[in-house]
Structure 1
Amino acid sequence: MKVKRLWTYPLLFGIIGALLGLILRYAYTGSFSGFPFKNILHSHSHVMLLGFIFNALLVTVWSTFVIEIDKVTYRLFLILQGCVAIFLVAFILQGYAFYSILFSTVHLWGSYLLLLRFWRKLDANNKQQNLIKLGIVFHFLSSLGPYMLGPLMAMEMQNSPWYQQAIFFYLHFQYFGVFLAWMLAVLFHKAEIKLNKIQLLVFTVGLGFLFTHSLDFSFNHWSIQLFGSLGSLGLFGLLLRFVKQFSILKHSYKFLYLGILLIAFLNVLGSIPVIANLAVESRFILIAWLHLIFLGIYTPFIWLSLPKKVHPIIWFCYGLVLFGSEMGLLFPKFISNWTTIPIMWFLFFSYLGIFLCICLVHISTILKISKKNINLNSN
């Protein structure tokens, strides 16, 4: 099975997830009445997290390290895609209910089997693949969060801080565990960086301690800032050591490395109580942070890994509208006064630009893959 053929699935889900995000942004303008906001939000977040980014990073790792995909692994991958398609619709129609929970669970169990098979195909002597293994470990660890939701509901603790923290636990060890580890595995492979045991330990412990930043949303204790500081400083210091190795790579990867350093540095700042409270108290700042990670780091990295090169004009337009959306979220009053456009409409048009860029990149890549498949079949 050729890995390039698998790109179609994450790219399609990326378009659908981005469309749901655009609809949400339009709903914020007040143009809908009786809009099922939470249902669409759940569908959007699950599809972007599992349908787009998880799939795309998995395919990227497969293709970078030339790992064989046998028939069983391929069928498991297709089962995961079917689950994403079903819970995409189920979340919209019913929110968190029987079918959305059922197929989210099947997806989780299916991912266990797929990643275990993936682990067995990794080279035990290749140190660069240790980060792939670490990402798989983080995937299993993150799933403890969803498993805690059932007992908490049974104890009628849905409104307790622990219920929210169980969700945060899963999310943290996905985007600051699985996703980051797999992305760095690919980048370090390109930069010919091999982490020694101490560096790998610093990276692992640092990501674990970073979870304490999520505790800021529910608790106020000095130990949260302490462990958050240790984790963020350890991660930032580790990444900073590789400036020389990344300086010899293409400019696109240099910019991506700088973006990763920015995220790591912002995590250091997030250990300061005054700054941490900004994200806790302002939903706009929280969304800006999440979009910086997903749209500013993971999406560009995925695009750099595609079998079709993204045109420089699209890169420029994407960067421009993403910057505009981040400024709108961080400085809504200033942007509204400067543009004389209501901030919700400004954000909608910014996300419309992001959506169009995603469509251009994903559709053009899908068409290229489809054309190659037709040519191969005809031969």
Structure 2
Amino acid sequence: MKVVGVYSRNQTAAEQFAAARGIRAFPSLESLLDEVEVVHICTPPVTHEPFSIAALKRDKFVICEKPLTGYFGDGSPDFHGDRFPKQVALDAALASVERILEAEAASRGRLLYAENWVYAPSIQKEREILEKTKGQILWIHGEEAHSGSHSEEYAFWKFCGGGVLIGKGCHPLTAALYLKRVEGRTRLGRPIRPKMVSARTHAITRLPTFVDMGHIRCDYYDIDDFSMIHIEFEDGMIATVFASDIVLGGVHNWLEVCANNHRTICNINPNTAMLTYNPREEYFKDIYVVEKIGTKQGWAFTSPDEDWMTGYPQEMEAFYRTIAYGEPLESDSRLAADAISTIYSAYVSAEQGGKAVPVRTFD
């Protein structure tokens, strides 16, 4: 694969990005699509549907970052993400999913869902264990948390389709959905899908009682910064997923699988591949330790290759092999669709005080 160029609505930023990498800055999405076979959509979630459909209509392969799509408001200038019925968001998100799936079905291209957790080495090792031992997953427990996103757009529902539940919760959730699919196709010849979800969401940093000490991002406009969801699958087994923007000490990414014949703890971040002790902050001033650690002084879970541990290079290699050679795809549009359906059903549940809500799945 050869990277040809980049498109951004901010042409100045696109030109600077392109110049630094020796590639082209295209003046429009259409001009870029005319000259490539594959497009990687790394823009805010509000743009995922139109960009994906535009590429699929031109028979391009689409690598779409997470989340796949969502509900981004009614377009009014005073839209506020925590002041509308969440059933509206669920209905709109599912309609968006349907449009993307219809575009893919009519295309010679394909949508590849860029959920790096699926390709993290520990998750793929658990896939191997499930396939070779034919284990039954009884309970999955997962979490993604840290002290807040760097993205300015992340503070607004209208750009990201929600808060931490979709922005961070999509990762452990999709990994859980994926592993139940693996179990199902191994033992039963078909994926095991989510059936019901219940949830609670909170906006801790927007409470008047929250005390800001300067370590946790707290400028969110209308989104949740803590969520917990409970999923029941078709076979009656369960998963619980936490997502939070109020955790210090770096990124906390992990998934625990409790099966009938084994137990696995996938420590994506932090992990003990490397531990360092640094007595003075300035010693490590030019050394990358680990994402969002806050300080480089003292003991740290220094990551020798953070991208590898989180599955990014493995994800891209797998996608390119699918595109070039037709190899089976582990993270596809149906997995993405089930994740979106579960997430927005969870928002409905949270609005209803945690009542269980059915999850629609896409075949």
Normalising by structure 2, we get a TM-score of 0.29
Question: Which protein has the bigger helix share?
Answer: 1
Larger strand share, 1 or 2: 2
With structure 1 as the length reference, what TM-score do the two structures score? 0.28
